[in-house]
Chain A
Amino acid sequence: MVSEDPLSEYEPKSWWDDQKTSWSHRALSKFLKINGPIPAHVAVVMDGNRRFARENRLESIVRGHERGFVQLQKVLCWCSDLGIRELTVYAFSIENFKRSSEEVEGLMRLAEEQFKKLLQEKEKLEEKQVCFRFWGRLELLRPQLRKLIVEVERLTAGYTKSCLNICMPYTAKDEAVRAAEVMRLAAQEGLVDDQQVSLSLLRECMDSRRSKDPDLIIRTSGEYRWSDFMLIQGSYTHVYFVDVLWPEFEHRHLCQAIFDYQRHYKSIKALPRSEAPGEELSEELKTFISNYHRQRYENLVTI
């Protein structure tokens, strides 16, 4: 008789969980689809991996992050079943570089392993049609990881079924400053003046330029703060705080969050907003912004 390793379930195996969904999952999904609109874009602050590792006496904190990664794969699968087209996850904050070098190193190694694995499963990736995007100050990552990120983005750029945005290393303030910098450079080129600066231009310059604002933000681990995540995009978003560690986040928690969203979405949508609409962006400006981002990606491989 082969004894099962109790930790084996924590080890990430494949990106795609092809296990059959249980009847209870299917029933809940069906109920939610009938009950109201399903959020098109869900963002998650995946907090609680370290506490999970400590509470479960795992051999290292990195094992907790591995378990968190397994959870991400499950959630990706649940979102697909529920019809959520876009998922954004806060994987690593710029502030997290303050953590021990052992933990940071372990996390980077885990990310590298997983992206390599993803690239090895090209056929599955093509079948799933999931587009991967990376938000944040990617320049702070080590060259090997940056190269993999660029490769994954390029490979999945044309996939349209669903989208996974991975924020690493990211903070909302940093994203806003980088977007403002693009606008400053455009102003230096004479492409932007004061009158043209608007929220829509700011959006166009941000990492999230190809996405709509999230409909629902879920924060795990019972912390009641934003931790510098999607502050501008989530200004009018439904926020759902759940008192469970990320590796213990279950299908029913996701369903509860969606159910809560369905209860409130009309009232939240009705809140008054006073942002100036802004002028239509000129073709020149659009080209400048897209060239800037393309150049930035090319630099990621060369620097």
Chain B
Amino acid sequence: MLQKAAGAGIELLPREPPIQPEEMFDWIWAIVQAVSHIVWMGCDFLGWSTVWVRNAIKKKELQRLNHQFRTPTHLAVTFTEEQHIRLKDVTRFLELTMSAGVRRVSLYDPWGKCLRMRAQLEKALMNEEVEFFAEEEFPDLKALSFAVQLLGPAAGRQTVVNSIKELLSSEEPLTAQQLDNILLTRGIIEPEMLIKVGALPTMAGYPPLSLRVTEIVSLRSLPTSRSTFHSALLDYSRRDIRLGK
């Protein structure tokens, strides 16, 4: 009897219309959007946002602007993590810079690993017209088509201190030009572009006074393929250099 009544009751209630496929699609879409918003917010806070989007845009732009690169005459590299300093990678990178038309490359690391690599680099690039020099060696750059400067820990702030030592005996008040000239004799020249290699967001002690208006490009590892190197150059090419104006 009860069953019958219950059954009758159920029959009396209006039936729930089955979920339409379009509605289901709306629900799924809303859930996907909510999840993606949460993920994006998290990534944005961590500074990882839009990495893949940026890469995709870069790739497209790279194809479009392949011929519009601005190549720096002097390109510098500062390593913030020791594991990225590998002979094979550095050799390949130097070959790429040479072929792009860069005339001078400065390689710096606070461990002195690049300096210790000099003989091996000379051997690896013996078929190329490359001149290697360390801090305080200063070859005639005009005569060279491609020069590589190897800088170690002593080239950092200590170079500024050592340069000032040379100026102490001056009779006249010091000028910025005098300091620049002394730094020049120590081989410290401002690069137009600096590639910061590694995850640490610091210059790791790169000769400080030479980074006044240098454009900084941050990369996780040293570019060793044509596409990654061109992508870094593209990044540099798009920069607007204002020099105080």
Which B residues are in CB contact (< 8 Å) with A95? 243-245
Residues 233-259 (chain A) with a chain B CB within 8 angstroms: 234-241, 252, 256, 259
The yes or no answer to A117 lying at the interface (CB within 8 A) is no
The yes or no answer to B170 lying at the interface (CB within 8 A) is yes
How distant is the Cα of A87 from the Cα of B111 in the complex, in angstroms?
31
Shortest distance between the CB of B81 and any CB in chain A (Å) = 8
How distant is the Cα of A181 from the Cα of B170 in the complex, in angstroms?
10
| Known pairs A199-B157, A226-B211, A274-B153; A177 contacts B179 (CB<8 A) | yes
Query: A28's closest neighbor in chain B, by CB?
Result: B45
The yes or no answer to A91 lying at the interface (CB within 8 A) is no
Size of interface on A: residues with Cβ below 8 Å to B? 52
Contact (Cβ within 8 A) A224 B239: yes
The yes or no answer to B164 lying at the interface (CB within 8 A) is yes
The yes or no answer to A267 lying at the interface (CB within 8 A) is yes
Query: A237's closest neighbor in chain B, by CB?
Result: B202
Which B residues are in CB contact (< 8 Å) with A275? 156-158, 161
Shortest distance between the CB of B71 and any CB in chain A (Å) = 18
Size of interface on B: residues with Cβ below 8 Å to A? 46
Residue in contact with A235 in the complex, picked from B156, B243, B245, CB distance below 8 Å: B156
Residue in contact with A268 in the complex, picked from B168, B176, B200, CB distance below 8 Å: B200
How distant is the Cα of A224 from the Cα of B219 in the complex, in angstroms?
13
Which A residues are in CB contact (< 8 Å) with B169? 187
| Known pairs A225-B214, A271-B80, A271-B204; A180 contacts B164 (CB<8 A) | yes
How distant is the Cα of A274 from the Cα of B157 in the complex, in angstroms?
9
Which B residues are in CB contact (< 8 Å) with A271? 80, 110, 200, 202, 204-205
| Residue among A180, A192, A236 with max Cβ neighbours from chain B (10 Å) | A180
Which B residues are in CB contact (< 8 Å) with A160? none
Which A residues are in CB contact (< 8 Å) with B175? 177
Residues 179-231 (chain B) with a chain A CB within 8 angstroms: 179, 199-206, 208-209, 211-218
Contact (Cβ within 8 A) B212 A264: no
| Known pairs A93-B244, A226-B214, A268-B200; A232 contacts B176 (CB<8 A) | no
How distant is the Cα of A161 from the Cα of B179 in the complex, in angstroms?
37
How distant is the Cα of A237 from the Cα of B80 in the complex, in angstroms?
12
| Residue among B153, B161, B213 with max Cβ neighbours from chain A (10 Å) | B161
The yes or no answer to A260 lying at the interface (CB within 8 A) is yes
How distant is the Cα of A259 from the Cα of B156 in the complex, in angstroms?
28
The yes or no answer to B7 lying at the interface (CB within 8 A) is no
Contact (Cβ within 8 A) B201 A192: no
Contact (Cβ within 8 A) A232 B157: yes
Contact (Cβ within 8 A) B244 A98: yes
How distant is the Cα of A199 from the Cα of B217 in the complex, in angstroms?
28
Contact (Cβ within 8 A) B168 A231: no
How distant is the Cα of A184 from the Cα of B157 in the complex, in angstroms?
18
| Known pairs A237-B202, A259-B45, A272-B110; A198 contacts B161 (CB<8 A) | yes
| Known pairs A184-B170, A187-B169, A225-B214; A176 contacts B179 (CB<8 A) | yes
Residues 46-100 (chain A) with a chain B CB within 8 angstroms: 93-96, 98-99
The yes or no answer to B14 lying at the interface (CB within 8 A) is no
The yes or no answer to B167 lying at the interface (CB within 8 A) is yes
| Residue among B46, B173, B215, B244 with max Cβ neighbours from chain A (10 Å) | B244
Contact (Cβ within 8 A) B208 A180: no
Residues 196-227 (chain A) with a chain B CB within 8 angstroms: 197-199, 202, 223-227
The yes or no answer to B160 lying at the interface (CB within 8 A) is yes
Query: B81's closest neighbor in chain A, by CB?
Result: A267
The yes or no answer to A276 lying at the interface (CB within 8 A) is yes
Contact (Cβ within 8 A) A197 B164: yes
Contact (Cβ within 8 A) A192 B168: yes
The yes or no answer to B154 lying at the interface (CB within 8 A) is yes
The yes or no answer to A126 lying at the interface (CB within 8 A) is no
How distant is the Cα of A189 from the Cα of B34 in the complex, in angstroms?
71
How distant is the Cα of A194 from the Cα of B167 in the complex, in angstroms?
10
Query: A273's closest neighbor in chain B, by CB?
Result: B205
Binding site for B on A (CB under 8 A): 93-96, 98-99, 171-174, 176-177, 180-181, 183-184, 187, 192, 194, 197-199, 202, 223-228, 231-232, 234-241, 252, 256, 259-260, 264, 267-268, 271-276
Knowing that A197-B161, A271-B205 are A-B contacts, what are 11 other residue pairs whose CB atoms are under 8 Å apart, sorted by A's residue number?
A98-B244, A98-B245, A171-B212, A176-B179, A177-B174, A223-B239, A224-B215, A224-B217, A226-B212, A236-B205, A274-B158
Binding site for A on B (CB under 8 A): 45-47, 80, 110-111, 153-154, 156-158, 160-161, 164-165, 167-170, 173-176, 179, 199-206, 208-209, 211-218, 239, 243-245
A/B interface sample: 10 pairs, CB < 8 A: A95-B245, A177-B174, A187-B168, A224-B216, A232-B208, A235-B156, A235-B206, A260-B47, A271-B110, A272-B111
